């Protein structure tokens, strides 16, 4: 086995320099099980941030399903296969009526790119409404609609068909407080008016019901419902990006958009879908799907292959059999309570927010000015790593610590996290 220095040397030589590593002293992870990761020295880490391994690292049922299907068959979707169609049916059964046509892909980025194609084909328009600080994927088409990327370092800004509205952030947004939703709805209305004033119709409004890279932002109640109505009334398509928050993570519901009592026209999914295996999907209405059948075949060599679908079905089965959605709600509620207790003790914590096991807490130097405590975030994350807990940061000011672990996370795990965090915050304040 190569040592960390040797790995770093080969990485510097053969991997793109824009790829980043976590932590001041990177760790060499060699195996994982459940909610734990282990480095080459045998050090055990509580994984508090890996929302891709949705049902836990190295789940034996996932390994078994992949092996069993690999031994039998793996091919593309140009052949009849019951594994693929039954999985598509079961995915559709988790969604509101009318969302019943699946397109399988290999990543959340692929899914969001395809969603844009579907929307643009259906509306005959490219005019896209997005939220500031949003991230929807790494493909060129998605960098264009992701302010998190195109408005940041190295970005070229948004093209003229992208209309960005302020982040609906009740804590530090343009409009604040519990009753701010209407102000942000008016921003969507202004974007639509601009589009129509240019003699276009909206193509798509793409949104995460809880923003991930934007800083674990809970959209204010009423915003999404009213915004969807405006877009749909103007002839546009509403896309729910569930790549990070779907499959029961929010606890109260299987899908994040359901927490806002809305029904999108297109749903995109990825990350947790295959528990680390490359698997993702777009689900839409029959009307939009049939409009896309315009003579240009949609084909994806690996999207919807039987092995991927067998793994995906097993993930669904495990969520049900191990009652992981309920666990996300129970453990996530405990986590939010404990973080708010810490907030009452430590002024550095300005805000605590989230749903289920998708939680963030924002650090500020001053609760009145909301000056971001970004350096403090880096310090805490690295200290927590030294204490055996893996965390990460996000948000436009890089001052939000995010917690989005595998859904097998327990209250005991929460208590350990809170104890370590409390001690680090206490020593920092001293």
How far apart are alpha carbons 394 and 106 in whole angstroms? 24
Top-level class of domain 4-55+323-429: alpha beta
What is the architecture of the domain spanning 60-321? 3-Layer(aba) Sandwich (3.40)
Question: How confident is the model at residue 307, as a pLDDT?
Answer: 97
Q: Which residues belong to CATH 3.40.640.10 in the chain?
A: 60-321
User: What is the mean pLDDT for each group of 10 consecutive residues in the chain (430 residues)?
Assistant: 90 93 94 97 97 97 97 92 96 98 97 98 98 97 97 95 98 94 98 98 98 96 98 98 98 98 98 96 98 93 95 98 98 98 97 98 98 97 98 96 98 98 87
* Backbone φ and ψ of 405, nearest 5°: -80, 175
Say if residues 428 and 379 touch (Cβ distance below 8 Å).
yes
Residue with tokens 């965390």: 391
Say if residues 416 and 258 touch (Cβ distance below 8 Å).
no
Contacts 24+ apart (CB under 8 A), 225-233: 225/260, 225/261, 225/262, 226/181, 226/182, 226/185, 226/188, 227/184, 227/185, 227/188, 228/262, 228/264, 230/185, 230/188, 230/189, 230/192, 231/129, 231/188, 231/192, 231/202, 231/205, 232/265
Q: Which residues belong to CATH 3.90.1150.10 in the chain?
A: 4-55+323-429
Note the pLDDT tens digit of each residue in 254-267: 999 999 999 999 99
Question: What's this model's pTM, rounded to 2 decimal places?
Answer: 0.97
Tokens of 347: 């002024």
Residue with tokens 């993702």: 280
Question: How confident is the model at residue 430, as a pLDDT?
Answer: 53
Listing from the earlier edge strand, what are the strands of the sheet with 400-403?
Answer: 349-355, 358-363, 400-403, 392-394
Question: How confident is the model at residue 399, as a pLDDT?
Answer: 98
Tokens of 378: 């880096």
Among residues 405, 407, 423, 402, the alpha carbon closest in space to that of 352 is found at 402
C-alpha dihedral over 397, 401, 406, 410, to 10 degrees? -160
Tokens of 283: 């689900």
Question: How confident is the model at residue 1, as a pLDDT?
Answer: 84
Question: How confident is the model at residue 180, as a pLDDT?
Answer: 97
Q: Which residues contact 360 (CB under 8 A, 6 or more apart)?
A: 215, 216, 217, 352, 353, 354, 394, 395, 400, 401, 402, 403
**Strand (E) or helix (H) holding 125:** none
* Backbone φ and ψ of 403, nearest 5°: -130, 110
């Amino acid at each position: 086995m190569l040592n960390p220095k040797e790995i770093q040397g080969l990485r510097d030589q053969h991997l793109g320099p824009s790829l980043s590593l976590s932590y001041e002293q990177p760790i060499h992870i060699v195996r994982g099980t459940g909610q734990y990761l282990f480095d080459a020295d045998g050090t055990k880490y509580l994984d508090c941030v890996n929302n891709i391994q949705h049902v836990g690292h190295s789940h034996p049922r996932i390994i078994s399903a992949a092996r069993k299907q690999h031994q039998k068959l793996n091919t593309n979707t140009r052949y009849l296969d019951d594994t693929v169609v039954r999985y598509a049916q079961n995915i559709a059964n988790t969604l509101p009526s009318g969302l019943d046509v699946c397109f399988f892909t290999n990543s959340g980025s692929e899914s969001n790119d395809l969603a844009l194609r579907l929307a643009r084909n259906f509306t005959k328009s490219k005019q896209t409404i997005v939220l500031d600080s949003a991230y929807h994927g790494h493909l060129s088409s998605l960098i264009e609609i992701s302010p998190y990327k195109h408005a940041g370092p190295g970005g070229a800004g948004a093209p003229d068909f992208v209309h960005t509205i302020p982040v609906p952030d009740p804590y530090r947004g343009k409009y604040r407080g519990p009753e701010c939703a209407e102000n942000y709805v008016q921003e969507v209305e202004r974007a639509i008016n601009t589009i129509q004033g240019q003699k276009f119709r909206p193509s798509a409004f793409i949104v995460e019901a809880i923003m991930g890279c934007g800083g674990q932002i809970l959209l204010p109640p009423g915003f999404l419902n009213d915004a969807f109505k405006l877009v749909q009334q103007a002839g546009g398509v509403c896309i729910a990006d569930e790549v990070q928050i779907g499959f029961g993570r929010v606890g109260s519901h299987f899908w994040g958009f359901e927490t806002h009592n809305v029904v999108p026209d297109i749903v995109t999914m990825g990350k947790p879908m295959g528990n680390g295996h490359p698997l993702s999907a777009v689900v839409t209405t029959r009307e939009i799907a049939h409009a896309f059948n315009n003579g240009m075949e949609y084909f994806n060599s690996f999207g919807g292959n039987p092995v991927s679908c067998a793994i995906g079905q097993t993930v669904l089965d495990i969520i049900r059999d191990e009652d992981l959605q309920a666990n996300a709600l129970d453990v996530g509620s405990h986590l939010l309570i404990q973080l708010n207790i810490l907030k009452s003790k430590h002024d550095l914590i300005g805000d605590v927010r989230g749903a289920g096991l998708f939680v963030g807490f924002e650090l500020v130097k001053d609760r009145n000015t909301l000056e971001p405590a970004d350096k403090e975030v880096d310090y805490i994350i690295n200290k927590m790593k030294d204490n055996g807990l893996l965390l990460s940061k996000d948000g436009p000011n890089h001052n939000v610590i995010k917690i989005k672990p595998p859904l097998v996370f327990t209250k005991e795990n929460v208590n350990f996290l809170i104890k370590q965090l409390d001690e680090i915050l206490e020593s920092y304040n001293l």
